[in-house]
């Protein structure tokens, strides 16, 4: 699958509005010595199908267009310089998710893991927090909403 590259701010902002993009942050945790440890974050982008798509099905062409748009947004919000943190982009899983939090709209999800580049098991640190905050700020600047789309 190809991704969208070199989109302008206005183009990415248009994608956010067109697909009513929302986002949520979850802790990325593992078990170390029988204790739960947060080692990073999962930033999830959610977009929904265009209004004219009637009865979307998992993996349909509309889902693929939506996921490609989410990849374009992801490319725009990721920090560009190399840092002690790295980003793991989740694969296209050909699934539609319905969350009561977003009024059970048919969502496609893109997951971005924010973790240590080295020392994977180390606790979350200031670099990961900074990276997350920058991405959240960029999403807000683009008009994306935390948790639910607000008209």
**DSSP secondary structure, 99-123, as one string:** -GGGTT-EEEEEEEEEEESS-TTSP
Closest CA to 33 of 143, 118, 121, 119: 121
Q: What is residue 39's three-state secondary structure?
A: strand
Q: Write down the pLDDT at residue 139.
A: 98
Q: Write down the pLDDT at residue 1.
A: 41
Q: Write down the pLDDT at residue 2.
A: 41
- Interval 76-134: pLDDT, tens: 999 999 999 999 999 999 999 999 999 999 999 999 999 999 998 999 999 999 999 99
């Amino acid at each position: 699958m190809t991704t969208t590259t070199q989109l302008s701010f206005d183009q990415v902002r248009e994608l956010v509005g067109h697909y009513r993009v929302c986002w949520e942050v979850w802790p990325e945790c593992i078990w170390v010595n029988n204790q739960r440890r947060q080692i990073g974050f999962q930033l999830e982008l959610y977009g929904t199908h265009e209004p004219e798509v009637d009865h979307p099905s998992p993996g349909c062409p509309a889902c693929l267009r939506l996921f490609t748009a989410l990849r374009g947004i992801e490319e725009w919000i990721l920090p560009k310089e190399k840092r002690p943190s790295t980003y793991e982009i989740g694969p296209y899983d050909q699934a539609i998710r319905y969350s009561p939090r977003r009024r059970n709209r048919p969502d496609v999800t893109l997951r971005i893991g924010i973790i240590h580049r080295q020392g994977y098991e180390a606790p979350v640190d200031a670099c990961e927090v900074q990276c997350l905050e920058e991405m959240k700020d960029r999403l807000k600047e683009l008009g994306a909403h935390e948790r639910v789309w607000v008209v």
